[in-house]
Amino acid sequence: MTSTAELQTTDAIVLDEQAQDLLFREARTANAFTDEPVTDEQLAAIFELVKWAPTSMNTQPLRVVVVRSAEAKQRLLPHMAEGNRAKTEAAPATALLAADIDFHDELPRVFPPFPGARDMFADDEEARVRTAELNTGLQVGYAIVGIRAAGLAAGPMTGFDADAISREFFPDGRHRVLVAINMGKPAENAWHDRLPRLDFDEVVTAI
């Protein structure tokens, strides 16, 4: 039985039902994947879609290393939490999503409305870290939606040695890996039980 409240809220969404299911309602965090590779075309398509989503001052601090080869996987696995190791080894691709602390070097090109933006950040590493990490967080959210838009399942993880992975895959020392995401076609039984969500009234207050 559908309650009146559900009908009303569904009516307020203009995104079609199939898209709602693909991106949110039916999408689930996957813990097992088929052997089907994640292709260069899929990676590029996901990027070309989600690149349009906003970041503050168009900073776009997200940088990504996608680990697909067996050699690269072996460099990654020792730094994953034990519970994330087997599924990361088996996933066709694992994306390492990092914040570029030196994103400000691109601002003259990507944020022409404020020519002083680069210099404002140049002497304030604390502000750069804060801005880079916040906006990379937004971009991780967009990336998860984008992976699902490509018909793939995402398995985002934060259980790993972030310092070690940042050093190993971003050796310039100017990047911080925040989230790793296993990607691919979900295998059968790829899901745990869905976990409970907070209620609207616990999260949102309108005044």
Judged by CB under 8 A, the chain residues 166 through 205 that form the site for a second copy are 178-179, 192, 195-198, 200, 203-205
Tell me the per-residue interface mask from 31 to 70 with a second copy, x by CB under 8 A, - otherwise: --------xxxxxxxxxxxxxxxx-x-x-x-xxxxxxxx-
Query: Rounded to an integer, what distance in angstroms lies between the CA atom of residue 152 and that of residue 182?
Result: 10
Least distance in angstroms from the C-beta of 122 to a second copy: 19
Two structure tokens written together for 68: 């697909």
Q: Which of 5, 116, 171, 188 binds a second copy (CB under 8 A)?
A: 5
Asked if 117 and 148 touch (Cβ cutoff 8 Å), the reply is no
Amino acid at 41: E
Least distance in angstroms from the C-beta of 188 to a second copy: 20
* Tokens 């399942």 found at: 153
- By beta-carbon proximity to a second copy, the closer residue of 10 and 124 is 10
Least distance in angstroms from the C-beta of 132 to a second copy: 11
DSSP track, 19-47? HHIIIIIS----S-B-SPPPPHHHHHHHH
Two structure tokens written together for 175: 């990047």
- By beta-carbon proximity to a second copy, the closer residue of 45 and 187 is 45
Q: Per rule CB under 8 A, is residue 144 in the interface with a second copy?
A: yes
Dihedral sign computed on CA atoms, order 80, 182, 142, 120 = positive
First to last CA, the chain: 31
Q: Per rule CB under 8 A, is residue 78 in the interface with a second copy?
A: no
Q: Which positions from 87 through 126 interact with a second copy, judged by CB under 8 A?
A: 93, 106, 109-113
Q: Which of 141, 161, 167, 191 binds a second copy (CB under 8 A)?
A: 141
